[in-house]
Structure 1
Amino acid sequence: MPNGEISIVVIGDLVLDEPDADHWLAGIAPALRQADLAIGHVEVPHSDCEYEMPGDIPAPGAPPENLQAIADAGIAMVSLAGNHVADCGAQGIAETVSGLDRAGVLHCGAGSNINLARKPAVTVVEGKRIAFLSYNCVGPEATWATATKAGCAYLPIRANDGSPISPRANLSEIDTEAYDILRSDIAAARDLADFVLVAMHKGIVHTPAKLAPYERDLARAAIDAGCDAVIGHHAHIARGIEFHRGKPIFHGLGNGCVVTQALTLDQDHPARREWAKRRRETFGFEPDPAYTLAPFHPEARNAFIGHLVFNENGNLRVGVIPVDVEPPGRPVIAEGGRAAEIAKYLEQITSRAGMPPIDIDEHGFVSEAA
């Protein structure tokens, strides 16, 4: 990068249940290592614990040794707040955090209590301090950390019918507590850092383009509170990009790298097998049978890495690095016509979601359309 510029790349959900995690990450690792800082989202606990939290469909613990592969791929910082981080209980969170510490990967969003879960991860890049905050917006409430219970940081979003907060609920109304949390935490992070990034696990899963009613207002509130960019994940499919006060909102980065048997019909776990069946019926898609380790909506193969370039004056350029997901689920940097196709897809889903149109140039930089 030119003198004084800082390059940060951000990717979405990481679910690395399969052996040889280095192989699954190798297709995107060069872009991650080239940046000054690469950030991802660890979706599931990395633990040998067999405990399963009741309520939501539990994800199995991923192999603890795969956390080192995340570090080796160039990812130096991760968010943890999400609907599956507590699926193996307090032990799963503790083992994930300790594994990340051993691998030298900074983390935020989950911990043994709410104070640790809300504590930002902070690093220094080219003399500038970067603070990172992570929140779960989709529940279930049993995953939330308290003063005495392990879990994740959260922003409460209520269902319009009063049902409990969970990924299955029709979440639409931002609780006033969410605004208070953002203002308090971002102000504290600002005291520590030159740039503040906020990750939100939010939105509607497995559905192209569509945003939940709360998403744009919540992301804008984070920017109004003083953060420099909002990074969304959870939907397992890419979402559009918008700007608020000149700051970027990645509404959904899609899958960073998801390779797992836990989403297939062909498995022994009855709850996960039933969810795989119901998921197809509920969201009206049939996965491409070639994607045995990533049986998502067919449009989910259009993925991307977000790119933030801060100059020495704090001005920001925003870009995307198109990523193609190849069978059975391995992400690779897209090139040529495929890269242009993915860029056009991101422009289209931004408009389809009702946001101002964007332009993505031949170098991948994003701007609001004239």
Structure 2
Amino acid sequence: MTLSLMLVGDLVLDEPEGDFFFDPSRAVLGKADILVGHVEVPHTDRGTESVGDIPAPGAPPENLAAIGRAGFHIATLAGNHIHDRGGEGIADTLDGLHAQGIATTGAGANLAAARVPAIVERGGLKVGVLSYNCVGPREGWATERRPGCAYIKIISHYELEGANPGGPAKAYTFADPETIEAMEADIAALRPRVDVLVVAFHKGVVHTPSHLAMYERAVARAAIEAGADIVTGSHGHVIQGVETYRGKPIFHGLGNFVVVTKALSVEGNDSPERRAWAIRRKTLFGFEPDPDYPLYPFHPEAKNLILADCRVAADGTISAGFRPGWMAPTGQPEVLGNDARGQAVADYVAKISAAVGLKTRFAWDGDRVTLS
């Protein structure tokens, strides 16, 4: 038996009738023996708005059923928004996902709970997933006594370039060793329990194509050196480069999958704080959302999508690849094949990978693109 393991990036379902947004991709998602996605925001009607970042609104709890009906088996939760409705929001999201039979990892009632892996077995093969937030805010990090997410602490240092006080600076970013060691301990504990080990990071710089912060490759490689078979990234809301390290795939940014929200729109935004951020981020990151995409207020290049598609042989050998995709104006992702549209997205992935120095080789295998 060959196990089909598929992984997608961010899932944000702020709009009603969540099933609608999965309809064009439902047939492809249904082919996965194990399907993994990142639930970005809390699904709750309770809780108090958190501090430390621009909080997202609580998404409708009933939309978790749409994620279940789309065929997801594992949800990663460690991210910068999962604590936006506090501990109650996390508890409601966990309860709602578990009610759908979806295993979770990355958030919980305390740090120990957040670090518990999700494990799913199919056909005698066990897949284990760990989830870590690399982007803050620290108010959302779990502690021994506080609900939140598992995390890797990233330290930033800005060094002035040239004799120009106040001028351009180079950003140096690196992971706090103690949190890396905690991740390594989690991987070591999980490794003998599973055949395939996935580490999912919430990492990177938002809305910035063809960019990897200094810490990203180091953290991803540390996970593989500790025993991970597959590393994925979410958070950036654009896809990022793909590489292999020691024969293992790293999907630095899976980008968006179903992400439908008005919380990042200027028009009709009922939150002054979120509206101000929607205006400011366009200046900070230099893009204008496409007005034809009212539920998808992201960088124009975020219309390019990928779905990681890994095939696991009975002996645990992994053939890594991805399916290209495209976001429709309705907010519905469409999974593409080996045709002109799919080739255009595959070419985009090759371009952004090369732009950040990744020497990945790509080849078509049926309707997916393999990497080596």
Deviation at 1:343, TM superposition (A): 0.7
Q: Are the equivalent residues in 2 in contact too, given 1:138–1:171 (CA < 8 A)?
A: no
**Structure 2 CA distance for aligned equivalents of residues 72 and 18 of structure 1:** 16
Q: Label 1:242 to 1:304 Cα distance change in 2 as closer, same or farther (>3 A).
A: same
Matched, 1:329 2:326: no
What residue in structure 2 maps to residue 167 of structure 1?
Answer: none
Deviation at 1:316, TM superposition (A): 1.1
**Structure 2 CA distance for aligned equivalents of residues 366 and 352 of structure 1:** 19
Give the SS at the match of 2:320: strand
What residue in structure 2 maps to residue 144 of structure 1?
Answer: 141
Deviation at 1:272, TM superposition (A): 0.4
What residue in structure 2 maps to residue 319 of structure 1?
Answer: 321
What residue in structure 2 maps to residue 338 of structure 1?
Answer: 341
Q: Which moved more, 1:134-143 or 1:21-30?
A: 21-30
**Structure 2 CA distance for aligned equivalents of residues 37 and 290 of structure 1:** 34
Deviation at 1:171, TM superposition (A): 6.8
Q: Are the equivalent residues in 1 in contact too, given 2:241–2:352 (CA < 8 A)?
A: yes
1:264-319 CA distance string (max 9 Å, x none) = 00111001000000110000011111111111110000001001111112211111
Deviation at 1:367, TM superposition (A): 2.5
Matched, 1:223 2:227: no
What residue in structure 2 maps to residue 16 of structure 1?
Answer: 13
**Structure 2 CA distance for aligned equivalents of residues 134 and 50 of structure 1:** 23
What residue in structure 1 maps to residue 196 of structure 2?
Answer: 195
Matched, 1:73 2:75: no
Deviation at 1:324, TM superposition (A): 0.7
What residue in structure 2 maps to residue 63 of structure 1?
Answer: 60
**Structure 1 CA distance for aligned equivalents of residues 186 and 172 of structure 2:** 23
Q: Are the equivalent residues in 2 in contact too, given 1:318–1:366 (CA < 8 A)?
A: yes
Q: Are the equivalent residues in 1 in contact too, given 2:47–2:87 (CA < 8 A)?
A: no
Alignment root-mean-square deviation, CA: 1.4
Q: Are the equivalent residues in 2 in contact too, given 1:347–1:360 (CA < 8 A)?
A: no
**Structure 2 CA distance for aligned equivalents of residues 59 and 119 of structure 1:** 25
What residue in structure 1 maps to residue 162 of structure 2?
Answer: none
Matched, 1:173 2:170: no
Q: Are the equivalent residues in 2 in contact too, given 1:343–1:360 (CA < 8 A)?
A: no
Q: Are the equivalent residues in 2 in contact too, given 1:350–1:358 (CA < 8 A)?
A: no
Give the SS at the match of 1:274: helix
Deviation at 1:101, TM superposition (A): 1.1
Matches within 5 A, 1:1-370: 4-49=1-46, 51-161=48-158, 172-266=173-267, 267-335=269-337, 336-361=339-364, 363=366, 364-368=368-372
Q: Are the equivalent residues in 2 in contact too, given 1:13–1:255 (CA < 8 A)?
A: yes
For structure 1, list consecutive stretches of 5 or more residues without a partner in the other structure: 163-169
Deviation at 1:54, TM superposition (A): 1.4
**Structure 1 CA distance for aligned equivalents of residues 24 and 186 of structure 2:** 35
Q: Are the equivalent residues in 2 in contact too, given 1:317–1:365 (CA < 8 A)?
A: no
The one-letter code sitting in structure 1 at the alignment partner of 2:187 is: I
Give the SS at the match of 1:158: strand
For this pair of structures, how many residues does the alignment match?
Answer: 359
**Structure 1 CA distance for aligned equivalents of residues 354 and 138 of structure 2:** 33
**Structure 2 CA distance for aligned equivalents of residues 133 and 67 of structure 1:** 20
Deviation at 1:179, TM superposition (A): 2.2
**Structure 2 CA distance for aligned equivalents of residues 11 and 23 of structure 1:** 17
Q: Are the equivalent residues in 2 in contact too, given 1:242–1:250 (CA < 8 A)?
A: yes
The one-letter code sitting in structure 2 at the alignment partner of 1:125 is: R
Deviation at 1:338, TM superposition (A): 0.9
1:14-68 CA distance string (max 9 Å, x none) = 0001011000111222111111110000000000125210120000000001001
**Structure 1 CA distance for aligned equivalents of residues 8 and 142 of structure 2:** 24
Q: Which moved more, 1:38-47 or 1:22-31?
A: 22-31
The one-letter code sitting in structure 2 at the alignment partner of 1:71 is: G
Q: Are the equivalent residues in 1 in contact too, given 2:154–2:174 (CA < 8 A)?
A: yes
The one-letter code sitting in structure 2 at the alignment partner of 1:82 is: G
Q: Are the equivalent residues in 1 in contact too, given 2:244–2:360 (CA < 8 A)?
A: no
**Structure 2 CA distance for aligned equivalents of residues 221 and 50 of structure 1:** 36
The one-letter code sitting in structure 2 at the alignment partner of 1:275 is: W
Deviation at 1:182, TM superposition (A): 2.1
**Structure 1 CA distance for aligned equivalents of residues 293 and 254 of structure 2:** 19
Q: Are the equivalent residues in 2 in contact too, given 1:322–1:342 (CA < 8 A)?
A: yes
Moved >4 Å (runs of 4+): none
**Structure 2 CA distance for aligned equivalents of residues 358 and 210 of structure 1:** 19
1:245-264 CA distance string (max 9 Å, x none) = 10000000010110011010
**Structure 2 CA distance for aligned equivalents of residues 82 and 119 of structure 1:** 15
The one-letter code sitting in structure 1 at the alignment partner of 2:342 is: A
1:83-104 CA distance string (max 9 Å, x none) = 0000000000000001111111
